[in-house]
Amino acid sequence: MAYVIAEPCIDSMDQSCVAVCPVDCISSEQGQDRKFFIDPNNCIDCGSCEQACPNQAIFRAEALPTEWAGFAWVDATWYVDPGQARDAIDAYMPTQAA
């Protein structure tokens, strides 16, 4: 199991979690992504990021609130096919019209 970043990270990416992760498994591409993503294959379940996030966006996968269960798929998918993960986020929460 790994930790997962859910909805509260979208469009509020302060990166507190990235700073504390001991294995550098939290990533995002600047200018392309609206949230950060945890690599489920490298996360060591230390819990540091959960404590650091000011938005309570991070959960153990098995503790994800039901309404955010799909974010486990989003985080894992980003490491295989970032475009598919981005499309899912935009479908879930469309960007505000300029």
- Establish how many alpha carbons lie within 13 A of residue 54's alpha carbon, considering only the half-sphere containing its beta carbon: 6
As a whole number of angstroms, the distance between CA 22 and CA 33 comes to 22
For ligand SF4, which is the closer residue by CB, 24 or 97?
24
For residue 4, state whether it binds ligand SF4 (rule: CB under 6 A). Answer: no
Task: Please tell me whether residue 46 binds ligand SF4 under the rule CB under 6 A.
Answer: yes
Check if the beta carbon of residue 40 is closer than 8 Å to that of residue 93: no
CA distance 12 to 96: 14
Please give the Cα distance from 85 to 49 (Å, whole number).
Answer: 21
Q: Which residue of 1, 11, 23, 29 would you call a contact of ligand SF4, by CB under 6 A?
A: 23
Minimum CB separation from ligand SF4 for residue 54, in Å?
6
**Quick check: 48 binds ligand SF4 (CB under 6 A)?**
yes
Residue 36 as a binder of ligand SF4 (CB under 6 A): the answer is yes
Q: What is the DSSP letter of 26?
A: E
Residues that bind ligand SF4 (CB under 6 A): 3, 5, 9, 12-17, 20-21, 23, 25-26, 36, 38, 43-49, 52-53, 55, 57-58
